[in-house]
Structure 1
Amino acid sequence: MRIAALGFCCVDFYENINRHYVTGNGIDCIINLSKKGIKSSAVTVVGTDLYGKEMLETLNNYNIDTSHIQVRDGSTSIYRMALKNGTDRVHLENIEGVMKNYTPTPEDIEFVKQHEFVHTDLTGKVLHLLPEIKNAGCKIVFDFSIRKNEDDFKKILPNIHYAFFSCEKKDDSIKDFLIHAKSYGPELVTATFGEEGSMCYDGHHFFEYGINSVPVINTVGAGDSFIAGFIYGIMHGWDIPACLKSGADLSSEIVQLFNPY
């Protein structure tokens, strides 16, 4: 079983405390999966700067295949970050760098098709490739984060299998929202609510799970690790409640760290 993270990667840099780490939604997800023994690959682009070198070294340290990471002259994408209330991360500015003009090569695309699962998101500049990758038999894991745009739904949801959304709170509209998202065709749609847990809809039933009460150091990576834990369960044929628990368990481990993996 293999998974590829396709598209966006970056470095999160906290200027006020002078700390950083290499990251990206898919990068965080596959590092967490690699730590659990899942063979993983990263398909993206980095610059020729020190951050690009750090990205490659970090992924290699976790035994992640970096053979299809493009290295281009310029700077690796950077997110300027800050901490709110000591634990919640805030995105200040994205400096795209070499990510701005990223395009996977035909060889990159064929490599991705060799994986059973592919993780991507809205920022990876690969949305046009989703139908081709799906038709190749890959199970597509898509992280919408906080975005709930109807135009995104129409062009993305019919071409993916597992959709994940990050929501501020669980209210009376959530079930209708998940029903609407599921109507476009994905196998499962899942929403996370921070301290209120998570909910998954399979077209017939709603499944909910809470969180583990742990001390929080940094909320960064909570969503990405939840997805990693959930997909780990899917890979092993677990039922939805077990997948939700797996996501919550892994997320609770990550929020006790400063880094997202």
Structure 2
Amino acid sequence: MSVHACAAGFCCADVYEKLGIIYPTGNGIDWGIHLQRMGVPTSIVSVVGEDVYGRRMREQLDREGLDTSHLRSDEGQTSVMLMDLKNGIDRVHLEAIDGVMATFALTDEDEAFVLTHDVIHTDLFGNCLSHLAEWSEYQKTVIMDFSTFSQDPEYECERYIPFVDYAFMSFEKDTPDLREWLHHVQSLGPKVATATLGELGSVAYDGDRFFTCGIVDAPAVVNTVGAGDSYIAGFTNGVIEGLDIRSCMQAGASLSARVVSAFEPY
């Protein structure tokens, strides 16, 4: 039986006004496109506005073959992230415009649809956190991207971690404090807690031991946007294929290296 994946939550358009570049993206969008390309049937449950950004989102996802039957189009503006590049490579977030994402919520029909999938990805900003407990109760494999906010009291991440199977977060370097945090996160319920460290690779903990993985050299680093999302996608595909943790980490690093070699995050 094939595994079906679903990305539920945040989506937006990244807009580089100085460069004249726009593309549809979002944590789950990037993750879903990568999984679809790796042969995992993937659905998107989110919302766009009835504007050019929303049309481009739907067109991109349809070209990639994702299921967009629950990608809602609401009157208003698609969520936009105004972007810039520092040193010609590193992304800089200038301003977030919530648009229709501000009032997005899963309908009962959306939730029933999400629960038909085996693997579910979400994030802190897609208004889906209240559904984590139900996803866990239905024994879905829940992938959660906590980004850089896992220790930020404002987001109360420890409320949600117990319902997550694979918790991902972003840090700058591997330290004793980070390992203590990963140990704590994993103890709350996830099978594996993983921290991505940018150019320093990643470290994961499964309740028994720590694993480390370096980066895979990229031919050229064009844009670091999407590196974390692609790592999570590669790792997730490894989980689906039954790979061990170290191999999942390597799969994530390999996919991330390909993504930073292109401007768009997939």
TM-score range (shorter-chain normalised) is over 0.9
Residues 1:158 and 2:162 are matched in the alignment:
yes
Identify the match of residue 152 of structure 2 among 149, 152, 162. Answer: 149
Alpha-carbon offset, residue 212 of structure 1: 1.3
The match for 2:101 among 99, 104, 120 is 99
2:211 corresponds to which of 179, 189, 207: 207
Quote the Cα distance in structure 2 between the aligned partners of 1:28 and 1:203: 29
Residue of structure 1 aligned with 2:237, choices 232, 236, 248: 232
Q: Find the aligned partners of 2:162 and 2:50 in 1 and give their Cα distance.
A: 37
- Find the counterpart in structure 1 of residue 114 from structure 2: 112
Matches of 1:71 and 1:177, distance apart in 2: 39
Instruction: Give the secondary-structure state (helix, strand or coil) at the position aligned to 1:220.
Output: coil
Question: What does the per-residue CA deviation read over 1:121-146, in whole Å, with 9 as the maximum and x for residues that have no partner?
Answer: 00001111110111122111000000
- Does the residue aligned with 2:76 lie in a helix, a strand or coil? coil
Alignment partner of 2:169: what SS?
strand
1:174 to 178, 191, 197: 178
- Give the ranges of 4+ consecutive aligned residues of structure 1 lying more than 6 Å apart after TM superposition: none
Q: Distance in 2 between matches of 1:33 and 1:21?
A: 18
Task: Answer yes or no: is the 8 Å Cα contact 1:191–1:200 preserved in 2.
Answer: yes
Q: Which amino acid aligns with 2:253?
A: A
Task: Give the deviation of 1:182 after TM superposition.
Answer: 1.1
SS at match of 2:265: coil
In the alignment, structure 1 residue 62 sits paired with structure 2 residue 64: yes
C-alpha deviation, 1:175, in angstroms:
1.0
What is the distance in 1 between the residues matched to 2:91 and 2:101? 22
SS at the partner of 2:176?
A: coil
The structural deviation recorded for 1:152 is 2.3
Unmatched 5+ stretches in structure 1? none
For 1:218 and 1:128, locate their aligned partners in 2 and report how far apart those are by CA, in whole Å.
33
- 2:257 corresponds to: 252
Structure 2 Cα separation of the partners of residues 226 and 154 of structure 1:
23
Aligned equivalent of 1:72:
74
Deviation, structure 1 residue 183: 1.6
Distance apart, 1:213 and its partner CA: 1.7
Partners of 1:153 and 1:184 within 8 A in 2: no
Distance in 2, Cα, partners of 1:92 & 1:6: 25
* Correspondence 1:173-192 to 2 at 5 A: 173-192=177-196
SS in 2 for 1:8: coil
Q: How far is 1:149 from its partner?
A: 2.5
Q: TM (normalized to structure 1)?
A: 0.98
Q: Which residue identity does 1:254 align to in structure 2?
A: V
The answer on whether the counterparts of 1:153 and 1:181 sit within 8 Å (CA) in structure 2 is: no
CA RMSD in angstroms comes to 0.9
Residue 104 of structure 1 deviates from its aligned partner by 1.0
Matched, 1:11 2:6: no
Alignment match, 2:131: 129
Output the CA distance in 1 between the equivalents of 2:100 and 2:114. Answer: 20
Letter aligned with residue 218 of structure 1 = N
Identity of aligned residues (%): 46
SS in 2 for 1:217: coil
Structure 1 match to 2:224: 219
Q: What is the letter of the counterpart of residue 148 of structure 2? A: I
* Cα distance between partner residues in 2 of 1:18 and 1:124: 27
SS at match of 1:200: strand
The one-letter code of the counterpart of 1:223 is G
Q: Look up the SS of the partner of 1:227 in the other structure.
A: helix
